[in-house]
Structure formats: structure tokens, C-alpha cells
Amino acid sequence: MQKRFLGSSGLEVSAIGLGCMGLNFGYGPATERSQAIALIRAAFDKGVSFFDTAEIYGPFTNEEVVGEALAPFRDQVVIATKFGFVTDPQGGKIGGLNSRPDHIRDVVEASLRRLRVDCIDLLYQHRVDPDVPIEDVAGTVKDLINQGKVKHFGLSEAGAKTIRRAHAVQPVTALQSEYSLFWREPEAEILPLLEELGIGFVPFSPLGKGFLTGSITTDTQFEATDFRSQVPRLSAASIQANLSVVEVLGDMAATKNATKAQVAIAWLLAQKPWIVPIPGTTKLHRLEENLGAAGVELSAQDLQSLEQAMSGIVLQGDRYPAHFMKLIDR
């Protein structure tokens, strides 16, 4: 597995990471613990050194699984986690946003215990809290870095103004936001800013929540516990309208002896050398498929062909339900 640096921070990780959320949260019933641990360790064996989790995944259980799985090779991996939501320690219910300094410190202490680590490699603010100045957030993380409890500071789904303000207080190592051929909004303002400031980019949902694999059709029925059942872009009507994107990927995949998913991830890797996608999966064969994208080379002509094919496609549907879109910083 090739390595990449997240911006100018000096933090080196595998070119493709593993998003661990789906093992315990968001995509239906949680994976059995031993199977989840086995999958994470299989990723490590295949060269993955960058693992992503958060306190709200579960809640809490995903950090515990990641911590147990990676304990034998702690010094060989980079673990990222997140703070920023209110969670009920008893019932596990997720509430609103909370990035007050005291809450950040409490979350970090709990995450350190669950992850079985002395220091968090990369700590993201999960969503920007409009009630707490970002300078206070960055300053709190800066203190935690000085205390040796955190190594690097990250933001997730933050807008350009917030990124710039935070970076002025504590250098931001990475931004984690959605980016793929299914969602290209970051290209307009965010990517140029990250390049200017030397910040790495970690795209989540690099496969469009599974849509770009070609496995989701108008006949797909999501379980009630699968958050995709609420995503407007994945409604039956939107799926029908958006299938042309999958067809474009299929055409390119056929010329590369690759899968649609591999082309989608390879496209992200080709955008910038400081982009590190984190596809998630619960299945070993999908893990192997995703990591195989690192070996798919897209030439300038290939990229131009994809761009030309995509230029006439207007995608339909929001990427989140309305109540969640309100949490996106602009």
C-alpha cells in the first residue's frame, strides 16, 4: 500500500484508510464484535495504517472495537476519532451539538480509554457548533496537544471561513468531508483553500454511500436502521435519475479491468496527492476490492474522459435529510 502525507503536517498514512463507522452504526445491525475486529486486522495486514472512528458511532462501541482490534499494532497505525455531539452514556441516544471546551476534554478522556491509547493521533470536531466560537474549539484542542493527549487537529464538514479561523489558532491537519463523483461541492471553494493552507483532505462516503459500486438499484430496500433509507439522493426516484453516473464508471472500469468502486476511489486519489479516502465496509471481499483501487492508474486522458462524461449529468436529491443538512457549516 502506498503512503501519503495529509497536507504539510507530516502525518503519513496509507493512501486508502478504513472508515469503521459501518461496523457498528448507520448501516443496519452492528457486525458481530469478533468479525469486526477480524476485518480491521485484515485491513492492517493488507497495508492500511489509517483508521477512522468517532464516539457517536454505536454510540461508543465502535471506538471500543477499533481500540481492541488495533491494540497489538498501536505504534504502526494512525487512529482518528471525533467529538462534537451530545450522547447519553446510558441509553446511547445522540442529541444535538456540543463543542464546549469542558465537553471536548471529557470526550477525549473517554475516547482515550475506549481506544486503549495514551494519545489520539487525529482529533476531529465532528460538526461545527454554531454556539461555540471555533477559536475556543481550536484553542482547547491546542491545549490537549500541548498536554500530549492529542497529536493532530481536524475538522469535519467545516466551511471555508471556519477552517481559516481555526487554522489561525491551531494548524488544522485534515478536513474530513463528503467528496466523490456523487458529491463534488468541495471542488468549488474547499479544495483550493486546503491546498493554500497545507491541509489534507479525507473524503468520507467516497463510494456515494454505496451507490457508485452499482449495487444499489431502484429495487433496493434499505432496512429501517440503515440511515440511507432517509437520504433523498437514494430515494427510488433519485436512484433512477442518477444511474447514469454508475454507467459512466462502468464504461471506464471495463477499460481498466477494474470494478466501478475501484475507479471511483482511483478518481479521488488522482485529484490531489494529499487526498486520502476512507471507504468503509463490513465484508472482507469488499475491503480487498476497495484497497485494489490503489493499483488502478487513471491517465490524464482517462480523467478527461470521465470529466466529459460527467459534465452532462445533473444529479438529483440532497445527500442528507433536511434536519441533518442544517448541521452543515457554510
Q: How far apart are CA 66 and CA 73, in angstroms?
A: 12
Alpha-carbon distance of 64 to 33, in angstroms, equals 10
Residue ranges and CATH numbers for the domains of the chain are 3-325 (3.20.20.100)
Q: State residue 330's pLDDT score.
A: 74
Decide: helix, strand or coil at residue 117.
Answer: coil
Give 214's contacts (C-beta < 8 A, 6+ positions apart).
246, 249, 250, 260, 261
Instruction: Give the sheet arrangement for strand 120-125, strand by strand.
Output: 18-19, 50-52, 78-83, 120-125, 150-156, 172-178, 200-204
Question: How many angstroms separate the CA atoms of 51 and 187, rounded?
Answer: 25
Compute and round to an integer the Cα radius of gyration of the chain. 19
Residues 6+ apart with CB under 8 A from 27: 21, 226, 227, 228, 282
How far, in Å, CA of 322 to CA of 330, rounded? 15
Q: Given phi > 0 = left and psi -120 to 50 = alpha, else beta, which region is 80?
A: beta
CA distance 91 to 210: 29
Question: Is there a contact between 42 and 18 (Cβ–Cβ < 8 Å)?
Answer: no
Q: Where are the alpha helices (DSSP H) in 190-235?
A: 190-197
Q: What pLDDT is stored for residue 326 in this prediction?
A: 73
Distance, CA of 225 to CA of 247 (rounded, Å)? 29
pLDDT attached to residue 116: 98
Cα 72 from chain centroid (whole Å): 24
Per-residue confidence of the chain (330 residues) as pLDDT tens digits?
A: 999 999 999 999 999 999 999 999 988 889 999 999 999 999 999 999 999 999 999 999 999 999 999 999 999 999 999 999 998 766 666 778 999 999 999 999 999 999 999 999 999 999 999 999 999 999 999 999 999 999 999 999 999 999 999 999 999 999 999 999 999 999 999 999 999 999 999 999 999 999 999 999 999 999 888 889 999 999 999 999 999 999 999 999 999 999 999 999 999 999 999 999 999 999 999 999 999 999 999 999 999 999 999 998 999 999 888 777 777 877
SS3 32: coil
Supply the pLDDT for residue 327.
76
pLDDT at 93: 66
- Which region holds residue 308: left if phi is over 0, alpha if psi is between -120 and 50, else beta? alpha
How many C-alpha atoms does 144 have within 13 Å on its Cβ side?
Answer: 29
> Is 27 in the active site?
no
Q: Give the active site residue among 57, 124, 179, 320.
A: 57
HSE, CB side, 13 Å, CA atoms: give it for residue 287: 22
